[in-house]
Structures are given as C-alpha cells and as structure tokens.
Amino acid sequence: MGELLVRRAVRRSLAQVRHVTAVPPGSAAPAVERVYAQVERDFGFLAPPVALHSPAPVPLAACWTMLRETLLAAGQADRAVKEAVAASVSVANACPYCVDVHSGALHGLVQGGDALSIAADRTDAVSDPVLRKAAEWARTSADRQAAQRWATPFPAAQLPELVGVAVTFHYLNRMVNIFLRDTPLPFAVPAAARAATRRVLGLMMRSTTGRPVRPGGSLELLPAARLPDDLGWASASPTISAGFAQAAAAIDAAGRAVVVPAVRDLVSSRLAGWDGRAAGLSRAWADRAVAGLPEAQRPAGRLALLTAIASYQVDPGLVAELRRHQPGDEALVALTSWASLAAARQVGGWLWAGLRGAARSAEPASGDERGARVD
C-alpha cells in the first residue's frame, strides 16, 4: 500500500510543475508524444523533471536524450554507481527533489544505509568504497578547483557515462529547482517518517532500475550534430557523444531563438570566471551584472544568470518579469534550459580537465563487480 501511495504521488506531481503547464499525456503533439512514450517505456513512469520541459519540444527531447543515454542505458558503469553520482551532484546543487528520487533509486539497488548517508551529505559514512569514491567525486564537481584536482577515480571506459551523469544532473538540478517543488513525496508525510517514506520510494524506483535499456534508443529524436570541443569527455562512447552532440545543438538553437546575443555573451562571460561556489542569498550581483543591458533585456539576463549560478534564487517575481517581455511557456523553458546547460557544460569542462590527464584503462580490482560491464 505504501508503494502504491508514493507511486500515485509521483505521478500526480506533474500537476505540481510550477511556472509552466506541463503537456498532459494523450493530448500532446507528435514530437512530445514520442518522448513521452520512451520515458514511460524506459523509466517506468512519466518523470516530472523530464515532463516539465514539454512546452518546448526540442529541449524536452534533448533533456531526455542526456538522461537516458547516461543514467539509464546499459554500459560500462554499474547503475548503482551512476545513481550515487546523480544523488551526490544533487546534494551539491541543493536540489532536494533529485536527492530524494536518486537516493531512493540507490536504496532500491544496494543494501544498508549508504543511500541515506549520501542523501544526508555524509559521504564519509558510505561503507561501499566504490560508491563512496563516486559520491566524493560527484560532490566536489560543483567546485572548480576541487574538480580539477581529481585523478581519475574510475576505469577510463566508464568516464563518458559518469561524467555524462554528472553533467546531466548539473543541468537537471537547475531546471528542477526552478520548476518543481522540493520533493516528490506527499506533503502529508511528517518529518519523523521521511526516511521510511524514502525507503518506500526506493522500492518503487527499483522497478525502474531493473529493466534493460538499450543504448542509443533516443538518438532518433533529434538531428545528428557535431560534438563540441568542450564535450570531448564523451568522445569515447559513440552513443553518449552522439546524444550530447544532438542535445547541445538542440538546446543552443532553442536558446538562440529566445536569448539575444548580449544576454548570451553576458552569461558566457560570467561562467568563464565562475568558480562553482554558491552565490549566497543576495541577488545584488545579478542586478549589477545586467545593469549594462538595455532595460528590456534585463529580465532575461537576470533570469539566465540566476538559473546558471543560483537556480535556488529563481522565484515567481523573476518569471513574471520575464513574461512581460517574452510571454509563453516555450520561451521560459528554452531560456532556462539554455542557461542550465551552459553551466553544466562548464562543470563538465572542469571534470574533464582533471580527469583526462590521469585517465587509465586499468581493469577493476578482482572481485569488484561494480566496475564490470552491465550487459
């Protein structure tokens, strides 16, 4: 009964998408329905972090492609390790919704309290050494200097998947912080019962982690594209490199359609000097940054900067300010998607800089099945 209640709560959370109206299944345009069908088939239910993109079909397909080909598709890295990376990146980005979902998924895969330790930001208490190493690496990915100091903690063959998971969740955390509430769990659950409910969520998520997902299934959704140089970490995997090339091109095109060059240049310049640290509670830095823009461009500039660097600071007032100049759900999703991926790509570059010089093709230690290929 508990699993049924949590499953219903997660499904109903489509109605809790904020700022935009998610397209309901069964009434969507063909491009959206194709993505929805894959999500239902491969994930087990229509995940709200994907569905929130539905007012903008191109970013929707791009988001799903990144998530599917890194986290879900069978490959070189164990799913539990990938879930540990997803949950730990979400902790780093203060995205409680994604922490609940992916620590729950990890709990459904492994025994013991390791998932709860990761969710509580206690990576030192994780007993499994492979999961602990993955969680520590992912947790520091939001710090430019720390990310670049890492020697590779994984076999080289796993790097496209694990860096891909980290980049995908640096993207998704920003979108979820803006468009979803803090948890997929029911509001009625008291704090004392939260851990138990998270375990029930883990049982539900176990059904999504046990199904085989064939690599490359999402590549039909978007046109082929060239892999940008900053995504070179993906090049060793044909499906992940193709998926990220397509997703980056699609989100860039959607961004160019709604974000003027001056705003794109402002965000790119700010990210180039960003060290990954949180911006704090004040938004004065964003106000100062957009002061040189024409007044009509400042709402987009402010929202794009905050999405990229401090998504937790985006509130209804910022959204309303943008809508006075750019009405419509599609423009809002396209702008925030572009800014989120710009920040995520920056983080991927830090990780790649730290890993590529030290990458090894060493086989995992004898008896360590987490490094084995998942067929």
Please state, in angstroms and as integers, the Cα–Cα distance from residue 274 to each residue in 66, 85, 101, 268, 282, following that order: 24, 22, 28, 10, 17
Q: Are 216 and 239 in contact (CB under 8 A)?
A: yes
Q: Respond yes or no: is residue 63 known to be catalytic.
A: no
Question: Residue 62's closest CA among 317, 253, 233?
Answer: 253
- Helix axis angle, 159-179 relative to 329-355, nearest 10°? 150
61, 98, 258, 342: the catalytic one is: 98
The 10 Å Cβ neighbour count of residue 125 is 13
Residue position matching structure tokens 């709604």: 258
Q: Which residues of 291-304 are buried (b: 16+ CB within 10 A; e: fewer)?
A: eebeeebbbbbbbb
**Which secondary structure element, helix H or strand E, spans residue 81, and what is its range?**
helix 79-92
- Helix axis angle, 2-12 relative to 194-209, nearest 10°? 80
What are the structure tokens assigned to 343, written together? Answer: 């920040």
- CA separation for the pair 352, 138 (Å, rounded): 13
Q: Are 146 and 62 in contact (CB under 8 A)?
A: no
Q: Are 259 and 300 in contact (CB under 8 A)?
A: yes
Question: Residue 91's closest CA among 66, 67, 119?
Answer: 119
What are the structure tokens assigned to 51, written together? Answer: 């569905």
- Report CA 94 to chain centroid distance, whole Å: 12
* Cα 335-341-342 angle, rounded to 5 deg: 90
What are the structure tokens assigned to 358, written together? Answer: 């030290």
Q: Are 126 and 138 in contact (CB under 8 A)?
A: no
- CA separation for the pair 238, 258 (Å, rounded): 31
Q: Which residues are catalytic?
A: 98
